[in-house]
Amino acid sequence: QVQLQESGPGLVKPSETLSLTCTVSGGSISSYYWSWIRQPPGKGLEWIGYIYSNGNSNYNPALKSRVTISIDTSKNQFSLNLSSVTAADTAVYYCARRPSGGFFDIWGQGTMVTVSS
């Protein structure tokens, strides 16, 4: 079955860029939307953005100026870059698959990213 795994640094300095990668295994990255979602400690879920397998992407307007999501279909991976981070970006970051219905049916286990000097 399809599995997702996030990877990347667990600690990022303020004003720097947070970079994470999600590796898709057990299936193809093609023909789906792939999303990033985050959850600050003890809080709710916030959708960051998605990318389709053809490279088309869309981002949450609240984060749009700082977010870039890219995809590498040859590696079955997609990535998140979030620039100019502050402590407010400290969260567990999840990657997830979004079928055409707009819901998120498969999630990675999540990776905690702390923004601190």
Partner 1 sequence: DIQMTQSPSSVSASVGDRVTITCRASQGISSWLAWYQQKPGKAPKLLIYYASSLQSGVPSRFSGSGSGTDFTLTISSLQPEDFATYYCQQANSFPPTFGGGTKVEIK
Binding site for partner 1 (CB under 8 A): 44-47, 58, 60-62, 94, 96, 101-105, 107-110
Q: Which is nearer to partner 1, 60 or 76 (CB)?
A: 60
Structure tokens that stand for 35 in this block: 């999303």
CB within 8 Å of 9: residues ≥ 6 apart = 18, 19, 113
Q: Which is nearer to partner 1, 5 or 53 (CB)?
A: 5
Side-by-side strand order, sheet with 77-82: 3-7, 18-25, 77-82, 67-72
Q: CB of 41: closest distance to partner 1 in angstroms?
A: 12
Q: CB of 16: closest distance to partner 1 in angstroms?
A: 25
Q: CB of 87: closest distance to partner 1 in angstroms?
A: 21
**What CA–CA distance (Å, rounded) separates 22 from 19?**
10
Q: Which is nearer to partner 1, 78 or 94 (CB)?
A: 94
Q: CB of 84: closest distance to partner 1 in angstroms?
A: 20
Q: Which is nearer to partner 1, 55 or 99 (CB)?
A: 99
45 neighbors 37 (Cβ within 8 angstroms): yes
Q: Is 40 exposed, middle or buried (0-12, 13-18, 19+ CB in 10 A)?
A: middle
